[in-house]
Amino acid sequence: MSLRGKGTAFISIGIACQPARQLYENRRHLSSLVGEPLEYGSSFFNWLMVSADEVPRLLERMTAPIEAGSIGLPAGEKVPVLLGYRAWMFHDGPNATITRRKLRQLVAKYEHLRQNFLGLCSRRTRHFVLCNAQNNLAMEHPHLSDSMTITFDDTLIARTRAAVDRLFPTGRNRLLVVARADRLERPMRRRVRVPAADGTEWEGDTAAWASVLSRHLRRGASATGRRGTKPIAR
């Protein structure tokens, strides 16, 4: 899930399910840290699988409706895709089970989730959470044959930050990048949070994420105090 309050939102932007799960698990913790109650919110990226290098382009895609021709059903043991993007609706397959009626429902579902995403982004302060720490991303899944990348580098982080700032220029944007150390293209100059390794299949360790989220928010508070003005997300 993503999280929403009156003035604050925490928004998963991929690349798989772990950030949505950990925002769900840390809702009360984050509510106490930001000083307002946060509610669960469904959103476009929550349960997608997205190639890391597609995230900035997919953020830009959120400005246009999801329509009948937006979702494709590749043949074979595949899952639905957002046409023109390496973005897989991994929990909505396999495609062999999808009838015309189900496809119409799928289009309506993802258009609703797109609008929810934009609603979350209307909050004054927006924390975008990008993560590749999910352990099973390296396993053999149908989407891997379609060239899904799971590595983060400085260019991707800079492009993602530029995309959210361009799309949502008012208020405050902050980007939290969470990664496994072996999925970073060295050298890294951009700030990335690397939690301790865990043995979960995909969920992540809730205590480790609580620490990451606390450090992320502390840094934002200290930056505000130093500058006395709205900080640029770093």
Domain membership flag for residue 39: yes
Give the domain range for residue 151.
2-50+119-227
Domain membership flag for residue 96: no
pLDDT, residue 192, reads 96
pLDDT one-digit tens code per residue, 75-112 = 877 899 999 999 999 899 899 999 999 999 999 999 99
Task: Determine how β-strand 8-12 pairs with β-strand 2-4.
Answer: antiparallel
Whether 123 contacts 9, CB under 8 Å? yes
The residue to which tokens 């530029």 are assigned: 162
Domain membership flag for residue 68: no
The 8-class DSSP code of residue 184 comes to B
Task: Determine the residue type at 10.
Answer: F
Domain membership flag for residue 177: yes
Split into its structural domains, the chain has a count of 1
Domain membership flag for residue 209: yes
Whether 206 contacts 25, CB under 8 Å? yes
Whether 231 contacts 223, CB under 8 Å? yes
pLDDT one-digit tens code per residue, 118-173 = 999 999 999 999 999 999 987 756 566 678 899 999 999 999 999 999 999 999 99
Whether 163 contacts 233, CB under 8 Å? no
Alpha-carbon gap, residue 52 to 31, rounded angstroms:
29
Does this model's pTM top 0.75? My answer is: yes
Tokens coding 125: 């302060």
Alpha-carbon gap, residue 167 to 161, rounded angstroms:
10
The 8-class DSSP code of residue 49 comes to E
pLDDT, residue 233, reads 36
Whether 93 contacts 79, CB under 8 Å? yes
Alpha-carbon gap, residue 132 to 29, rounded angstroms:
22
Domain membership flag for residue 84: no
Q: Strand pairing partners for 72?
A: 81
Domain membership flag for residue 14: yes
